[in-house]
Amino acid sequence: MSNRISHCFERAEQADRAVLGIFVSAGDPSEQASAAILDSLVENGADFIELGMPFSDPMADGPAIQAASLRAIKQGMTLQGTLDMAAAFRTRHPDTPLILMGYYNPIYMYGTDAFISAALDAGVDGLIIVDLPPEEDVELCDDARAAGLDFIRLVTPTTLGDRLPVVLEKAGGFVYYVAIAGITGTKSAATDTIEAAFTRIREETKLPAVTGFGIRTPEQAAEVAKISDGVVVGSAVVSIIEQACADKTPDADELAAAVGDYCRDLSEAMKRT
């Protein structure tokens, strides 16, 4: 596990709180505004950042994050641009874990060795590659792990049976539990099913486990924080950006402040006592 990720969970445990991860798409709605949003998230309590690598066919993402990817692509964001944003973020925030989340096709086109090297140079701590099952990820997973990048696995309600050990075999950093069967931002997570899932996950791994997909409000986050080691919020954050872009080009600082206010409320909800 990368030092930044392990320290993040250790600090939260000592403070009797869950970890808060926030997903945003790199370059949404512009590179300048996206950088300001990242800074605001860190300043307002985000414990780690999932930086989405914009992709035109994001099969696991709901309408909000699909639209975020398209806004970023229209503004010229690329995989290289995402890596450049990651490097700039690392310069400004040396201690905050940074995880790249996306799909394999752009990485394959970039070159897996070149991508791993660039991600390490940029200060990235881990990868979440949504469309690479364990049986198909040898081109990326083994080399990324050997180089020092955590390969964070997604576990869904349908992988909690015999397949769970297979999915977790090469997992690093933390386990990302997808709390709904479906795409991001379309349903709400039920705490009773999350609790049952975590009992099963903790039978198989000592890695911390976080819950994502379907968490939109501080109240929902507070309930899940009682069960999980961490909570990830994405679509609800991206929706704030989407609303700001509805009828005008938003001011970057005002948009960053609005996202930061929401993040602060979520961070407060991570406290267990």
Mean pLDDT along residues 191-218: 91
- The mean pLDDT value of the chain amounts to 92
- Decide if 267 contacts 18 (C-beta within 8 A): no
Active site residue 251: no
- pLDDT value at residue 56: 87
- pLDDT value at residue 193: 84
- pLDDT value at residue 249: 82
- Decide if 52 contacts 24 (C-beta within 8 A): yes
Active site residue 195: no
- pLDDT value at residue 179: 85
* pLDDT tens for each residue of 17-61: 999 999 999 999 999 999 999 999 999 999 999 999 999 887 767
- Decide if 266 contacts 234 (C-beta within 8 A): no
pLDDT band at 189 (very low <50, low <70, confident <90, very high): low
- pLDDT value at residue 184: 57
Which of 61, 125, 229, 242 is the catalytic position? Answer: 61
Q: How far apart are CA 218 and CA 17, in angstroms?
A: 14
Which of 31, 47, 50, 150 is the catalytic position? Answer: 50
- pLDDT value at residue 180: 73
